[in-house]
């Protein structure tokens, strides 16, 4: 009798969970992707888009696959894996970002890809598109932390200062303190190679869930990150501008976790923040200048962590730019940016 009652109770609780999840799902019309990538091996997380300056049709979408035997997958615009551009045997890569025109020496520049390698407590740096390591095996992060759990990197985003073209990596971690959750490192090149030099720690953390998603608006000099159960936080990316919080916004538009942040910036200066409302299955869109909420869209993805956007035309399918979102089935979804109603 006891066992029967116990089973009925479990069945009832599972029914309540199912009803809650059903009620929590988006009621907006689903927008289908233009391309679904080939599957990765483990667990997709965060994408980055490299626009080929010589031939936009040959642009590459990179995506993390987070596990001890993880990888940074490279996909063409048809969603096919480019094996020769894929970086394998990475110890739990988490987030990835691209920056253009990194100064290697007086006469040479290269585009770069940087990603976190959590289990080695470091970030990695490779040239794009030849995919050569530039970091001597990795740059350690959070080295002054005494608690090992606070040294495990998750989010990363790159900032190229409009003042002096210096490139910085801003890195978040799995757990951290109420203040100083993010660290900023200057990536410097000289005749001896490339180094990562600590600049500052900043960023308040509510302690509710965690901070993973980080996105930087290079032109306007702002860094945004998701304090997952609370709000989107905004700070200055330029170290000389100080480390005070500018704003904490948007939390009321999310059902649970605030996740990936993509910035769609246009040549005339206007643009949008596109932020994953993870459990709802939607993306909330905010004005880039005012950070006011505009609308939400249902892109038919499941449990999206990371996302990324570019606004330049790439090919006949992505005439209005490209939006990439992680999907919880070991793949990524590609959309023409015009499908989100942005222009």
Map tokens 């009925």 to a residue. Answer: 8
- Cα atoms in the Cβ-side hemisphere of radius 13 Å centred on 296: 20
- Whole-number CA gyration radius for the chain: 20
- Buried b / exposed e over 191-218, threshold 16 CB at 10 Å, is eeebebeeebbbbbbbeeebbbbbbbbb
Query: Residue 290 gets which letter from DSSP?
Result: T
Dihedral (C-alpha) 292, 294, 296, 299: value to the nearest 10 degrees? Answer: -100
pLDDT value of position 343: 73
Q: Is the domain defined by 41-257 classed in CATH 2.120.10.30?
A: yes
Burial track 73-93 (b if 16+ CB lie within 10 A, e otherwise): bbbbbebebeeebbbeebbbb
Predicted TM-score (pTM) of this structure: 0.93
- Rounded CA-CA distance 307/322 in Å is 11
> Which residue is listed with tokens 């894996």?
81
End-to-end CA distance of the chain: 63
Q: Which of 263, 268, 310, 267 is nearest to 291 (CA)?
A: 263
pLDDT per position in the chain (343 positions), as tens? Answer: 445 444 444 444 444 334 444 457 789 999 999 999 999 999 999 999 999 999 999 999 999 999 999 999 999 999 999 999 999 999 999 999 999 999 999 899 999 999 999 999 999 999 999 999 999 999 999 999 999 999 999 999 999 999 999 999 999 999 999 999 999 999 999 988 999 999 999 999 999 999 999 999 999 999 999 999 999 999 999 999 999 999 999 999 999 999 999 999 999 999 999 999 999 999 999 999 999 999 999 999 999 999 999 999 999 999 999 999 999 999 999 999 999 998 7
What is the per-residue pLDDT for 20? Answer: 44
Domain ranges in the chain are 41-257
Residue 99 and residue 27: Cα distance in Å, rounded? 37
């Amino acid at each position: 009798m006891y066992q029967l009652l116990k089973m009925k109770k479990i069945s009832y609780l599972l029914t309540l969970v199912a009803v809650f999840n059903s009620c929590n799902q988006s009621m907006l019309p689903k927008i289908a992707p233009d391309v679904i990538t080939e599957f990765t091996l483990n667990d997709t997380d965060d994408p980055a888009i490299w626009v080929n300056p010589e031939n936009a049709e040959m642009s590459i979408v990179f995506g993390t696959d987070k596990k001890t035997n993880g990888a940074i997958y490279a996909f063409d615009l048809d969603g096919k894996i480019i094996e020769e551009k894929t970086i394998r045997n990475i110890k739990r890569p988490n987030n990835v970002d691209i920056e253009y025109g990194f100064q290697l020496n007086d006469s040479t520049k290269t585009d770069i890809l940087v990603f976190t390698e959590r289990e080695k407590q470091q970030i990695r740096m490779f040239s794009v598109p030849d995919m050569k390591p530039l970091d001597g095996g990795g740059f350690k992060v959070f080295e002054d932390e005494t608690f090992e759990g606070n040294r495990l990197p998750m989010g990363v985003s790159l900032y190229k200062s409009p003042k002096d073209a210096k490139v910085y990596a801003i890195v978040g971690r799995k757990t951290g303190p109420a203040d100083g959750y993010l660290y900023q490192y200057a990536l410097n090149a000289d005749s001896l190679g490339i180094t990562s030099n600590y600049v500052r720690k900043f960023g308040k953390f509510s302690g509710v869930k965690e901070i993973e998603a980080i996105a930087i608006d290079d032109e306007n000099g702002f860094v945004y990150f998701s304090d997952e159960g609370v709000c989107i936080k905004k700070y200055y990316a330029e170290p000389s501008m100080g480390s005070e919080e500018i704003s904490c916004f948007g939390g009321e538009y999310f059902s649970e976790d605030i996740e990936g942040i993509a910035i769609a910036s246009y040549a005339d200066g206007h643009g949008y923040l596109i932020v994953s409302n993870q459990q709802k299955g939607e993306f909330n869109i905010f004005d880039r200048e005012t950070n006011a909420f505009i609308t939400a869209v249902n892109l038919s993805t499941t449990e999206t962590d990371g996302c990324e956007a570019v606004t330049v035309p790439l090919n006949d399918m992505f005439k209005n730019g490209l939006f990439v979102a992680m999907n919880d089935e070991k793949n990524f979804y590609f959309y023409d940016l015009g499908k989100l109603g942005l222009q």
